[in-house]
Amino acid sequence: MRILRTLRTALQALMRNPMRALLTTLGIVIGVGAVIAMMEIGKGSSAAIQKSIASMGANTILVLPGSAASGGITFGAGSVMTLTPMDADAIQRECPSVRSVAPIVRARSQVVYGNRNWIPASIFGTTSAFLEVRDWKELAEGDVFTDRDVLNANKVCLLGKTLVRELFLDESPIGKEIRIKNVSFRVVGVLSEKGANMMGVDQDDILLAPWTTIKYRVTGSPVVTSVQSTGSDATSSSVNTLSKLYPGSVALYPARSDIQAADQPLPIRFANVDQLLMAAVSTEEISNAIDQITDTLRSRHRIREGEADDFNIRNMTEMTKTLTGTASLMTNLLLFVALISLVVGGVGIMNIMLVSVTERTREIGLRMAVGARSRDILRQFLIEAVVLCVAGGAIGILLGRGGSYVVQLILKWPIGYSPEAIAASVLVSVGVGVIFGYYPAWRASKLDPIEALRYE
């Protein structure tokens, strides 16, 4: 009851000059508002980064072919093709930390439907496992091509939303025929929409087809072992001739001499792919998956101990850590600036409370004369300071939330609701009130009643 009585007395004292009380809390209002806004914007940014990374395929690992070197000259990654579809099968079979593997053959060419055409950002020859690796399990319409389509190099494909919009407008593409370098493809499905990734690349501007179809019918690649299949044939604007269109006219196996057959009892790899894309079982298993993939590929490629790998493994873990760390760093930096505002606001409250103690010296002396103890005076002024800070914190929370919504509406910046920031702001406000209000309250409680009553 004594606390309630003291609280009522403190509120009455503050209400004598509401404008000064409001201005006193201004520093706390700005500080808490800035903290809330920064926390929500920072949380929204982190969530957006995580979502963008997830849209690119969570736990994704990319294996690229190695580099060739001759006479001290290195030709760079991909200059020698060392990856095969059988490598993908082996990784899927022998690496328990890998969830799914998809071989990829890339191409870039014009896609034509009727009198419309478009060059998609990505034309991937792959298997149906690609959708699982990229967490792209649901289709907007139609079906996925099957392993039999891959085996038979059937001319079927899946289209991304952007490609559908550019070629078919509002028309459904299912069952329609499109052409890539004069090769007809039947559209069997449309991918669900993914949007742009963190690099701003439109992930819906894509065409997926069986890797055998892209490799043998579109790029017209013969059996190669040291030339990237997306080389000049894949990127040139030349149109396939009839002799290039059908794999039957292309020898699937290189000619082998009797000596080669005797020296190399194992089958020669008859096809290679541009890269292998795979997903680990979980984020924690990425490191184990990389070790298992390395062991498997080195064993299959007969790489001796001490020799360099003929492949390169990339994963998105470091990128994720870097981007998330950068977002956290910026958020913490802005949060530190906001906390400085809180300290400045606390100093302002201390200053005003000291002025208030001086102005109310006679009042303090009178209360002591009628029986108030020092701790009652201390409690009253301390409660006044805490009430000012809590009221400023409440206004600051509303201001911060409103500011973050304005940022979202105007700048289209993602935000995330942060209840922990609100709870922390309330605690910090109370703490600022106690810390910066204690000295004026202590000074008021130590006044001599006789001297206080004489004060003019």
List the single range of 221-225, 343-347, 368-372 with lowest mean pLDDT: 221-225
The pLDDT of residue 378 is 87
Q: Count of alpha carbons within 13 Å of 157, Cβ hemisphere only?
A: 28
Residue range 275-302: mean pLDDT, rounded: 88
Distance between CA atoms of residues 389 and 383, nearest Å = 10
Residue 62 CA to residue 64 CA, distance in Å, equals 6
Top-confidence residue, 405 or 226:
405
Residue 208 has pLDDT above 90, yes or no: yes
What region, left, alpha or beta, does residue 20 occupy, with left being phi > 0 and alpha being psi -120 to 50 degrees? Answer: alpha
Which DSSP helix (H) or strand (E) runs through 13?
A: helix 2-15
Q: Output the six-digit token pair for 204.
A: 């819906």
Rounded to a whole number of angstroms, the CA Rg of the chain reads 35
Residue-level pLDDT at 258: 60
Q: Which DSSP category does 137 fall into?
A: -
> Is pLDDT above 90 for 9?
no
233/195: higher pLDDT: 195
The residue behind tokens 């106690």 is 434
Cα 228 from Cα 77, distance rounded (Å) = 10
> If we measure between CA atoms, which residue out of 226, 286, 295, 273 comes closest to residue 254?
226
Q: Is the pLDDT of residue 141 over 60?
A: yes
313 pLDDT more than 50: yes
| DSSP state for residue 55 in the 8-state scheme | H
Phi then psi for residue 425, to 5 deg, are: -65, -40
Mean pLDDT of 327-351: 78
Residue type, 10: A
| Alpha-carbon gap, residue 441 to 354, rounded angstroms | 8
In this prediction the pTM is 0.59
Q: What is the pLDDT of residues 220-267, one digit of tens each?
A: 654 444 444 444 444 444 555 555 555 554 555 666 666 665 555 444
Residue 311's pLDDT band (boundaries 50, 70, 90)?
confident
User: Among residues 47, 32, 161, which one has the least CA distance to residue 415?
Assistant: 47
Cβ–Cβ under 8 Å, residues 270 and 85? no
Closest by Cα among 4, 132, 135, 122 to 57: 135
Average pLDDT, the chain: 80
Task: Please tell me whether residue 318 adopts helix, strand or coil conformation.
Answer: helix
Task: Give the tens place of pLDDT for each residue, 182-192.
Answer: 889 999 999 99
pLDDT at position 153: 87
More confident residue, 156 or 35: 156
* Residue 267 pLDDT: 46
CA–CA distances in Å: residue 121 to residues 114, 183, 225, 336, 394 = 20, 19, 26, 42, 50
Mean pLDDT of the region 211-220: 85
In the DSSP assignment, the letter for residue 247 is G
What pLDDT score does 253 carry? 60
- Return the pLDDT at 20: 80
Chain centre distance of CA 425: 27
Do the bridges between strand 156-159 and strand 122-126 make them parallel or antiparallel, or are there none, so unpaired? unpaired
Burial of 454 (0-12, 13-18, 19+ CB in 10 A): exposed
Give the pLDDT band of residue 176 (cuts 50, 70, 90). Answer: very high
Residue 65, beta-bridge partner list: 311
Indicate the pairing of strand 139-142 with strand 206-210.
unpaired
What's residue 251's pLDDT? 58
The predicted-structure confidence for 102-135, as pLDDT tens digits, reads as follows: 999 998 889 999 888 999 999 999 999 999 888 8
The closest of 114, 340, 107, 115 to 228, measured between CA atoms, is 107
Structure confidence at residue 221 (pLDDT)? 56
